[in-house]
Amino acid sequence: MNEQHPAPAPVSTSSTPTDGTPGETNGARLSAPALIGAARPFRLCIVDMNDGHVNQAIRCFRGIAARFFARVTTTNPRVKCELLEVSPRNTEDDIPDADLYLSSGGPGSPFDGDGKEWVNRYYRFLDRVADAAEDGGTDQQALFAVCYSFEMVIRHFKVAVMQPRAERKFGVMPVYMTTEGQEHPLTSPFNDRLFAFEHRNWEAVDLDTRRLAGLGGQLLARESRDGVSKGRAVLGLDVTSGIEAVQFHPEADRAGVVSWVARPDQAAAFKATYGEVTYQAMLRTLDDPRRLARTFALMIPGWLSRKFNLAALERGYNQISSPDDNDVLDAFGRPQPGDAVPPSSAVHAAHAHAKPSPSASADAVS
């Protein structure tokens, strides 16, 4: 979801929307309504790793944050919610103190910043989050890392090898859960498979299972059911206390993906790699609530709810509900009567007995 255009200069403003929609200013702090005498603010920080480039993903993250804040303030009207944003790669600003962090994807190689101070600061930030999560209590923190941030997490904790792919992987792709992933709260809503937008030139391979286990982590998802046939990449990890990370883009919404795949250059590139039939199938799958919409509605919103509820136990907040199938149907617009979309339980049952597709191109959206 990277668009390689210069970004506008950040604007430092505050907004308090009354309709639950996110502010549109870059670098903005977004506050949900709060009552006088509220408890300490609950802070969510978007760590923008796009190196100053305009990106659809940040819009998506802001929308996810606004819906999360609405869920929080429905049950906790006295809790003020604040959205912070920082762009450490191009500004080298310190990452501010917050309760939860969403760290984005971004362009380029995960080795581009070697020798630069922002990398050292980012690695210190990762250690700070892990330590705060391990300590628990009212000051606990947690991080969800996506794509480029996933790659930086891999490098810092040395749990796998980051290597360039032979060719770029992009489009709506299947992601396969491990046995542990099917039991983990991040990925269990998807049973054995989910669909997500991917756009990457790098991959994490040769997982150091002993190192990961020593950190208290788990392998949650990978590129192939068997770990080999469709690629060896690690796609999802519970890395260590407070840090979960994925290589794909669960924040991608329909508008963001359409804006990308409809561009003539990207459409031509996809068709050259996977074929016209698969391209058209991918466009159709954007309207299927069992696929991209399900990932968008459940993964990051579920993570936010789960981590908020851990903090709620320590701070005396009321816990909030987790997203469910109603949120999935609302994500990209509910199906029209007569669309005959099977229930998710039926989809899960079918997936459990499905055989891997014989080709990568067929499996791109199947």
- Domain with 12 in it: what CATH number? 3.40.50.880
pLDDT value for 335? 53
Its sign, for the CA torsion 190, 195, 199, 200, is positive
Residue 65 in domain? yes
**Alpha-helical runs (H) found in the chain:** 56-75, 88-91, 117-135, 148-157, 209-214, 254-261, 264-274, 276-285, 292-315, 325-331, 344-352, 360-363
Residue 206 in domain? yes
Residue 293 in domain? no
pLDDT value for 39? 61
Residue 338 in domain? no
Q: Residue 143 in 3-state DSSP?
A: strand
Distances from the Cα of 212 to the Cαs of 158, 215, 221, 249, 272, in angstroms? 9, 5, 14, 22, 38
Residue 96 in domain? yes
Domain residues for the domain of 97 are 8-164+173-193+200-251+298-330
Residue 351 in domain? no
pLDDT value for 350? 29
pLDDT value for 259? 85
Residue 287 in domain? no
What's the number of domains the chain is made of? 1
Q: What is the SS3 assignment for 258-287? A: HHHHCCHHHHHHHHHHHCHHHHHHHHHHCC
Q: Note whether 4 and 43 are within 8 A (CB).
A: no
Distances from the Cα of 128 to the Cαs of 49, 93, 99, 132, 237, in angstroms? 18, 16, 12, 6, 19
What's the pTM?
0.82
- Return the axis-axis angle of helices 56-75 and 254-261, rounded to nearest 10°: 180
Q: Note whether 330 and 293 are within 8 A (CB).
A: no
pLDDT along the chain (366 residues), means of 10: 38 31 34 44 97 91 97 96 97 95 96 95 98 96 98 98 92 95 98 94 97 98 91 96 98 90 87 88 86 96 98 95 94 59 33 32 41
CA nearest neighbour of 95 among 46, 132, 157, 139: 46
Distances from the Cα of 336 to the Cαs of 282, 288, 333, 343, 365, in angstroms? 20, 11, 9, 15, 22
Residue 133 in domain? yes
pLDDT value for 285? 83
pLDDT value for 334? 63
